[in-house]
Structure 1
Amino acid sequence: MTYSQICYDVIRAVATITLNRPERLNAWTPTMAAEFRQAMEQANNDPQVRAIIVTGAGKGFCSGVDMNALDGMTSSGKTPSKSFTPLDPAAREDFQHPMTWLPSVGKPIIAAVNGAAAGLGLALLLFCDLRFASSNAAFVTSFSRRGLIAEHGTSWMLTRLVGHSRALDLMFSSRRVDGDEAYRIGLADRVCAPERLLDEAREYAENLAANVSPRSTRIMKRQLWDALFVDLATSMQEADEEMRESLKSADFKEGVAHFLEKRTAKFVGG
């Protein structure tokens, strides 16, 4: 499959999707959006892929929507119309919209934030499952400095990661947050030296690919994202149902067998 604004590769069961407009700090365009979605579908549908890394080429992760695209928006406040087909029609309606569809991907997604992540670029990484940040990364909401508002579920997800008042601070001020602060406030799960960022993200993803059940990660991912919307009793009921199914699965049998036989696991995802 040929892409013009992203790069896609698979090494040792890990797919890496690289936003690839480095001369524009990987500013988001309609073409990039379509290719990113297509690459995610490719990774999601490939049984050989067990985990996904998202990063940016050059010095930026994603600097937000390309300003040329912003120029095309009308003064009436309407953005160009676009259709959207959910990646997983069985996913919650909450996860069937631009950016918020990432939790419906059935594999772990790790954002390797190598540089500037602003505006829509920030929204993108918020809906990944984990965020590894370079120490020289820069997280910026940007919206207040463009006369805009928190888009694509950013207000909902940012609050859950960093807390209400910190989210308001980041939204109101549009100030720059570096990798170290992002880690301290919960916006990043790990901070890495710039030269080690991709290596550490790959090591983590390859460990998932080699040593854990893809069936388990798929179901646990859905459980944890769905748990943001349900009460404890509902979560417990769903967990009991999923546990009964897990005990009948091939991956459970393999999980017990490889432990008892003291060998490397050979999970099949079923």
Structure 2
Amino acid sequence: MDYAEITYAAGDRNATITLDRPEARNGYTVRMSDELADAFGRADEDEDEDVRVVVFTGAGEHFRAGAGLTQGGGFDLGESAWQEPAGRCSKRIHEMNKPVIAAIRGAAVGAGLTITLLADYRLAATDAKFGLVFTRRGMFPEGGSAWYLPRLVGMGRALDWMISGRIFGAEEAKSAGLVHQVHEPGEVLDKAYELAREIAATTSPGSVAVTRQLLYHLASADSPYPAHELDSRLTALLPTHSDAVEGVASFLQKRSPGFPLRVDRDLPSFLPWTD
């Protein structure tokens, strides 16, 4: 896919996906949603597994100031399988085996916030402003945000932000658990890369992939018993699991690990979310 509204770059064991409409404060469009879905898939399915982490950011002074409503197009309510634009991106991030770090400065409003709820980390600049402004525009939450947001910040805070549609700052977002770290605007992207390097250097890609999906698929189960069952099957693999053997050996030998297994071919075959 040729990208017109985002950019994609890979190097140093990470991929950077950047919203690239700074003249429109990176306003969300249907084309951008499809480009993002393609780019996250590209990073996740990297054949050489050079990409371990995705850094997600925006060009200019704003991450994304909501939807570019004047762009129009792409809305076909006649198809039952039709997916709204924010969901096209957020569903692909949800399905990823690789962690995503969102580096946010300036406005992150509407779709500019909902698609970051799927990121594993959200790092914000001190100038970041957040808002789920749908009710103030006569619209409805999208991107699966009504499912994700209460799991991140609790139902009470989710109700406040979604019903009022008010704008709130980085410190309120951090105190609620929406944002993991707050940095000066000129530092937030560097901090995201610093975190990406740490994850790439110290963790097993297979373990990260399984752990990420365990949390999404089992955290809302009706009881802990499905988690216990899957934990037992996974733990039974460890004596002959190459990454576990390497993880223990590198710890005992006080050296950096070199995990040998690949996500595309070496994940356990019995994981319930795989086909």
The TM tier, using the shorter chain, reads 0.7 to 0.9
Q: Which moved more, 1:157-166 or 1:103-112?
A: 157-166
Q: Aligned partners of 2:102, 2:169: CA distance in 1, in Å?
A: 15
Match of 2:270 in 1: none
Q: Percent identity?
A: 36
User: Hey, what's the Cα distance between the residues in 2 that align with 1:191 and 1:127?
Assistant: 18
Q: Deviations over 1:178-222 (max 9, x none)?
A: 111110111111111111101111101110111111111011001
Per mean C-alpha deviation after superposition, the further-off stretch among 172-181 and 199-208 is 172-181
Q: Which residue of 2 aligns with 1:266?
A: 258
Partner of 2:99: 108
Query: Does the 8 A contact of 2:37 with 2:89 survive in 1?
Result: no
Task: Measure how far apart 1:84 and its partner are.
Answer: 6.8
| Structure 1 unaligned regions, length at least 5 | 86-95
Q: Secondary structure at the match of 2:123?
A: strand
Q: Which amino acid aligns with 2:38?
A: Q
In the alignment, what sits opposite 2:266? none
- Residues 73 and 213 of structure 1: is their aligned pair in 2 closer, same or farther, counting only changes over 3 Å? closer
1:37 maps to a residue whose letter is A
Tell me which residue corresponds to 1:137.
128
**In structure 1, what is the equivalent of residue 198 of structure 2?**
207
What secondary structure is seen at the aligned counterpart in 2 of 1:125? coil
Secondary structure of 1:194 counterpart? coil
Per the normalisation by structure 1, the TM-score is 0.88
Please list the CA deviations of residues 138-176 of structure 1 after superposition, one character each: whole Å capped at 9, or x if unmatched. 111010111012222212211111111211111122111
In structure 2, the CA distance between the partners of 1:83 and 1:11, relative to structure 1 (3 Å rule), is farther
Q: Does 1:57 align with 2:59?
A: yes
1:30 maps to 2:30 = yes
Alpha-carbon spacing, 1:202–1:116, altered in 2? closer, same or farther (3 Å): same
Is the alpha carbon distance of 1:81 and 1:130 closer, same or farther for their aligned partners in structure 2, counting shifts above 3 Å? farther
Cα RMSD of the aligned pairs, angstroms, is 2.2
Question: Residue in 1 aligned with 2:68?
Answer: 66
Distance 1:19 1:126 in 2: 16
User: What is the CA-CA distance between 1:21 and the residue it aligns to?
Assistant: 0.4
Specify whether residues 79 and 61 from structure 1 end up closer, same or farther in structure 2 by C-alpha distance, changes over 3 A only: farther
2:228 aligns with one of 236, 246, 256:
236
- Counterpart of 1:90 in structure 2 is none
Which residue of 117, 123, 131 corresponds with 1:126? 117
Distance 1:115 1:226 in 2: 32
Matched, 1:117 2:117: no
Corresponding residue for 1:88? Answer: none
TM-score normalized with structure 2 length: 0.86
1:19 matched residue in structure 2: 19
Out of 141, 148, 156, the position equivalent to 1:150 is 141
Following superposition, the deviation at residue 2 of structure 1 comes to 4.1
Query: Structure 1 265/73 Cα, relative in aligned 2: closer, same or farther at 3 Å?
Result: closer
Partner amino acid, structure 1, of 2:65: S
CA shift for structure 1 position 260: 2.2
Q: Say if 1:73 and 1:79, in contact at 8 Å, map to a contact too.
A: no
Distance change in 2, residues 1:32/1:125 (3 Å) = same
In the alignment, which of 215, 223, 226 is matched to residue 214 of structure 2? 223
Count of residues in Structure 1 that have an aligned counterpart in Structure 2: 256
Contact persistence 1:112–1:201 (CA under 8 A): yes
Q: In the TM superposition, what whole-angstrom CA distance separates every residue of 1:5-63 from its partner, at most 9, and x where no partner exists? A: 11111221011100110111111112211211111111111111111111111111122
Gaps of 5+ in 2: 263-275
User: 244-253 vs 104-113, which deviates more?
Assistant: 244-253
Distance 2:162 2:180 in 1: 20
Q: 1:172 aligns to what?
A: 163
**CA drift at 1:81:** 5.3
One-letter amino acid of the structure 1 residue matched with residue 29 of structure 2: T
Cα distance per residue 1:57-76 (max 9 Å; x no partner): 11111222212145x598xx
